[in-house]
Amino acid sequence: MALKIALKPGEKLIIGGAVIANGKTRSDFVVENTVPILREKDIMSLQDADSPCKRIYFVIQLMYIDGSNMSEHHKTFWELVKDVAEAAPSKKELLHEISDNIINSRYYQALKLTRKLIDYEQEVINHVRNTNAGI
């Protein structure tokens, strides 16, 4: 099934590992085969992967768009998941769900679930900051 994509002026996306940047006007195009696609809003840069959960997102993103280094990405993923599971045992069920998607090569679904993990991480960080600010 074809996927129609509308890009805003200047918007970027990744299609199958290639970064596409739109020009000055809105454009529509159709992707007619199955290929990894990430819109700009879903792309995380290495510089933005500045926390454990964001690093999990980043490595899943690499799995999704860079299949040539899959064994290294998997190794990094499992190390990060182990660390986060130890630090946040209440998130083991979510980590299991993310991991299940990784095992079954459903990387985009894993990315969506990892957003929930990042939101939780941000809540914890905000709570700690607020608590420390009150001291």
Query: Domain residue spans in the chain?
Result: 3-42, 52-133
- pLDDT at position 66 is 87
- Tell if the pTM clears 0.85, that is, is over it: yes
Which residues contact residue 94 at a Cβ distance below 8 angstroms, ignoring those fewer than 6 apart? Answer: 113, 116, 117, 120
pLDDT at 135 over 80: no
* Residue 4 backbone phi and psi in degrees, to 5: -90, 130
Cα angle vertex 39, ends 126, 101, to 5°? 70
73-83 tens-digit pLDDT? 999 999 999 99
Mean pLDDT of 21-36: 92
Mean pLDDT of 84-113: 96
- pLDDT at position 26 is 95
44-69 tens-digit pLDDT? 999 999 999 999 999 999 999 988 89
Q: In this structure, what token pair is assigned to residue 52?
A: 């454990």
Rounded to an integer, what is the distance from CA 127 to the centroid of its chain?
23
